[in-house]
Amino acid sequence: MVRFDVITVIPDFFDSALEKGLLGIARKKGFADIHVHNLHDYGLGKYKQVDDEPFGGGAGMVFRPEPVFACIEALRAEREYDEVIFLSPDGKRLDQPMANRLSRMRNLIMLCGHYKGIDQRIRETLVTMEISIGDVVVSGGEIPALFLMDAMVRLIPGVLGDSESALSDSFQENLLDCAYYTRPAEFRGMKVPDVLLSGHHRKIEQWRHENAIERTRERRPDLLGQECFDELRKK
């Protein structure tokens, strides 16, 4: 089981997502233990302040170090953590190999930024890993945290109904997934490829692999290695 300790200033944001869908299933099955911590519980003064204006001026507010240090140090006093992850647009971009590796860990802290960001001393002293979900800025780290947890827990054996389905997903072999069809076999003149109706499992797997390579070549050629281009040229 993997344990997530999520630090946020809007803990209610996670309520529905952690009860429904894949994360809810993983929790109910005992594969994921998710705890959401309100950073304001460690805030300063009467109003539990967690942020302040940046030195040097400028728009936006920045997380102060005191509340974040207090929260993370309290968590670390209870157990060891594999990583303290800060969700940030300037972190390392999340990809499937990273999700695969993280899914094998046991204890993770996720710090959700907000406003303008966090004091640099937090990043230099407490954070061990910075992750971005893409070259885009969102209002806070809560959506990226859910994104990352979902990407991870679906890889844990037993979470998905079909234990093999995660292994054939896009990006697992630097390929996008192949095209899929279901009933009816013909719809408005559009037919399902004959090979998928043949019942010949070896030919079906070959078609799916070739289709995955072709789709990747068209949509994400940056993912393809030289061996895939060589395979395409042989056709």
- Contact indicator for 71, 98 with CB cutoff of 8 Å: no
Distances (CA, A) of 217 to 179, 207, 222, 223, 234: 14, 15, 8, 8, 15
| Cα 190 from Cα 187, distance rounded (Å) | 5
Percent of all residues in the chain with a pLDDT value above 70, rounded to a whole number: 91
Domains of the chain: 2-153 (3.40.1280.10), 170-233 (1.10.1270.20)
Rg (CA), the chain: 22
Burial of 198 (0-12, 13-18, 19+ CB in 10 A): exposed
DSSP β-ladder status, 62-63 and 117-118: parallel
Chain-centroid distance, C-alpha 165: 17
Note the pLDDT of residue 231.
55
Per-residue pLDDT of 25-81, as tens digits, reads 999 999 999 999 999 999 999 999 999 999 999 889 999 999 999 999 999 999 999
177 touches 169 (CB < 8 A)? yes
Predicted local confidence at residue 132, as pLDDT: 97
User: Average pLDDT of the chain?
Assistant: 92
Q: Which two tokens stand for residue 194?
A: 């004959």
CA distances from 105 to 56, 91, 98, 153, 159 (A): 39, 19, 11, 11, 16
How confident is the model at residue 232, as a pLDDT?
53
Instruction: Summarize pLDDT for 137-180 with one digit per residue, the tens.
Output: 899 999 999 999 999 999 999 998 765 455 556 556 789 989 99
